[in-house]
């Protein structure tokens, strides 16, 4: 067979194979396309059904933003369990509180025990020291209201001395619970800022006490050793133990108190006096004193 005819036949067979292969390939592509189209329609139908039964499904951005907002709110308002704890971390946290809020408070820090309550492990620590009662109150307030879950298990207070009436000795036990799976690293928890009302007085110092003698009260007339020698509706005249005559009006200071008012009908002066922690009303009459 001539060379040219053989090449033509070979080329023709090759073209037929290419054509048949292309047709088969296109046919398979069309089949896959139809199958994918059918699957796409089914998925669209399923998605539409899911959106119908779960109307919030399409609000992923809003849901994510809401979750972030809830997380921020939890950071700002709720107690947060820590991911881990150790003596160095807790000591540094308590020192951060004192340096930030109560720099005059000092304490000794010791590890007490470690254990587990339920599914949560914990470490306990003891703090011992002396402090101004207001500083100690503010320190406890910070431990209770800051975000990390630190639990004050016990607290003991005692008066340091009569001379230091606003200073107390304290001993407390603090437990720290943590969870390695769901807890938050303490480095991710910022300090909270909130309004705070301090103690109005020292609750561990007796407000009723023996009569006090203060040198500054000597600058005022003592009604216990004075007599009324005259009065008007607006003023009274007192003579002290040394014979000195003093004129005072309502609101004027006397030793340990002040003149409250004058009762002209009863011919008496009414004083408010406080020497023992309780304000007493004392009446002095022109014709004699009722003390």
Going residue by residue through the chain, which has 291 residues, state the pLDDT in tens, using 9 for 90 and above. 555 555 455 555 555 454 445 445 545 555 665 676 677 677 777 767 766 776 665 566 665 665 556 555 555 557 888 999 999 999 999 999 999 888 889 899 999 999 988 888 999 999 999 888 888 888 988 888 888 989 889 888 876 654 456 788 899 999 999 999 888 899 888 888 776 666 665 565 566 666 666 778 888 999 988 999 999 999 999 998 888 999 999 999 999 899 999 999 899 999 999 887 778 899 999 865 554
- What is the reported pTM? 0.48
d(CA 268, CA 283): 6
Backbone region of residue 267 per phi and psi (left: phi > 0; alpha: psi in -120 to 50; beta: other values): left
**Which CATH fold would you assign to the domain 87-188?**
Alpha-Beta Plaits (3.30.70)
- Cα-based angle 186, 113, 155 (whole degrees, multiple of 5): 80
Instruction: Give the Å distances, CA to CA, from 170 to 3, 27, 92, 126, 188.
Output: 114, 88, 20, 10, 31
């Amino acid at each position: 067979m001539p060379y040219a005819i053989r090449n033509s036949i070979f080329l023709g067979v090759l073209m037929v194979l290419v054509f048949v292969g292309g047709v088969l390939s296109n046919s398979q592509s069309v089949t896959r396309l139809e199958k994918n189209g059918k699957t796409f329609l089914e998925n669209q139908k399923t998605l539409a059904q899911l959106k119908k039964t779960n109307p919030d499904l399409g609000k992923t951005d809003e849901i994510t933003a809401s979750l972030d907002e809830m997380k921020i709110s939890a950071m700002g308002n709720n107690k947060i369990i820590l991911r881990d704890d150790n003596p160095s971390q807790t000591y540094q946290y308590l020192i951060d509180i004192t340096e930030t809020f109560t720099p005059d408070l000092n304490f000794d820090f010791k590890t007490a025990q470690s254990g587990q309550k339920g599914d949560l492990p914990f470490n306990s620590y003891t703090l011992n020291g002396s402090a101004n009662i207001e500083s100690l109150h503010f320190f406890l307030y910070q431990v209770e209201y800051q975000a990390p879950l630190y639990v004050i298990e016990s607290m003991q207070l005692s008066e340091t001395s009569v001379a230091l009436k606003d200073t107390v000795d304290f001993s407390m036990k603090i437990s720290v619970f943590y969870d390695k799976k769901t807890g938050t690293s303490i480095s991710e928890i910022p300090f909270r800022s909130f309004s705070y009302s301090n103690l109005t007085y020292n609750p561990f110092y007796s407000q009723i006490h023996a009569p006090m003698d203060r040198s500054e009260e000597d600058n005022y007339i003592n009604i216990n050793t004075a007599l009324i020698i005259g009065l008007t509706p607006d003023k009274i005249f007192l003579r002290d133990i040394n014979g000195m005559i003093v004129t005072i009006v309502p609101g004027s200071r006397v030793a340990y108190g002040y003149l409250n008012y004058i009762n002209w009908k009863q011919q008496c002066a009414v004083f408010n006096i406080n020497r023992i922690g309780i304000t007493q009303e004392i009446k002095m009459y022109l014709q004699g004193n009722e003390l």
